[in-house]
Amino acid sequence: MRGIREGGCSCGAARYQMDLTDAETGNCHCRDCQKQSGAPFATVITVKADQFKWLKQPEGETSVSDAAIRRFCNKCGTPLQWCGVDYTDIANINMTTLDDTSGIDIVYEIYTRSRVAGILPVKGAAQSMAGYADLK
């Protein structure tokens, strides 16, 4: 997966650009992502921090633990970014906020112990009952 893509929130108040070279995309089934997204899981695309930049930074920011900050548009509520305090070298963006999601494959799933009943594993994706570090 390569190329520069843009994305943003539903109302356009927050916009970003990212280089998808060497990006990895996965589903996080942790309870925080479920509650924050209002869905069975959050699909996150991860790139190196220097491959991501805000064109119009969102004003909303929240945290439910000491581990991470979540950025969202305070106008329309779109969840945009997960910022792990111990992961400043990467940018984790909600994949479905990209303007064009074509050609992006799910390669891993994490916190599968919290997978909602009836949601099947993605065929061919690495699976971890715990976090991303356990996949490496």
**E strands, the chain, in order:** 4-8, 15-19, 24-28, 42-48, 52-56, 60-65, 68-72, 79-84, 90-94, 108-110, 126-127
**Has residue 76 been placed in a domain?**
yes
CB-CB contact of 14 with 54 (8 Å): yes
**Single-letter amino acid, residue 14:** A
**Has residue 123 been placed in a domain?**
yes
Cβ count near 13 (within 10 Å)? 17
Query: Is the Cα torsion angle 60, 63, 67, 70 positive or negative in sign?
Result: negative
What is the model's pTM?
0.91
In the chain, how many domains are there? 1
Query: Is the Cα torsion angle 119, 123, 129, 134 positive or negative in sign?
Result: negative
**Has residue 134 been placed in a domain?**
no
- The percent of residues above 90 in pLDDT, for the chain, comes to 86
**Has residue 136 been placed in a domain?**
no
User: Range of 16's domain?
Assistant: 4-128
Planar angle of CA 46, 52, 57, nearest 5 degrees: 115
Query: pLDDT for 117-135, tens place per residue?
Result: 999 999 999 999 987 777 7
Is 16's pLDDT higher than 90? Answer: yes
Q: How confident is the model at residue 31 (pLDDT cuts 50, 70, 90)?
A: very high
